[in-house]
Amino acid sequence: MQVTLYYNDEDQYLLGLVDGLAERQRKSRSAVIMSILEEHFERGKRLGEILVDMGAVDTRAVEEALEEQKSGNGPRRLGEILVEKGLVRDGAVKRALVVQGRFNRS
């Protein structure tokens, strides 16, 4: 998907900050902007909510996994349960954890 953003002269300061961050992170300007937007809109959300927002899994599957998590013996992580049941890919869980801020990008 391609998105076009239009900037005016007043946006140059912010674009300079974005460009500096992009250079330090060795990313494109658009990748940095998307990361900032993602962090803004997903901040404070739980893992299941983020996975649903990403389209990686549906709400019902998350609810079922949460029930299993509550009724199981010992602590199990939601992402582990979803992956074990084949409801979501491990990569999607890692991506959601990055968005949530609980997993370092590598």
Q: What is the pLDDT of residue 74?
A: 78
- Give the residue ranges of DSSP H helices in the chain: 12-25, 29-42, 47-54, 59-71, 78-84, 90-100
Instruction: Write out pLDDT tens, residues 48-62.
Output: 999 999 999 999 999
Which domain range does residue 70 map to? Answer: 47-100
Same domain, 73 and 96: yes
Contact 5, 29 (CB under 8 A): no
C-alpha span between 19 and 25 (Å, rounded): 10
Q: Residue 2 has what pLDDT?
A: 79
The pLDDT tens digits of the residues spanning 20-48 come to: 999 999 999 999 998 888 888 888 899 99
| Structural domains of the chain, count | 2
| 60 lies in the same domain as 85 | yes
Q: How confident is the model at residue 19 (pLDDT cuts 50, 70, 90)?
A: very high
Q: Is residue 2 part of a domain?
A: no
Query: What is the average per-residue pLDDT within 94-103?
Result: 82
How buried is residue 23: exposed, middle or buried, by Cβ count under 10 Å (0-12/13-18/19+)?
exposed
pLDDT bracket for residue 105 (50, 70, 90): low
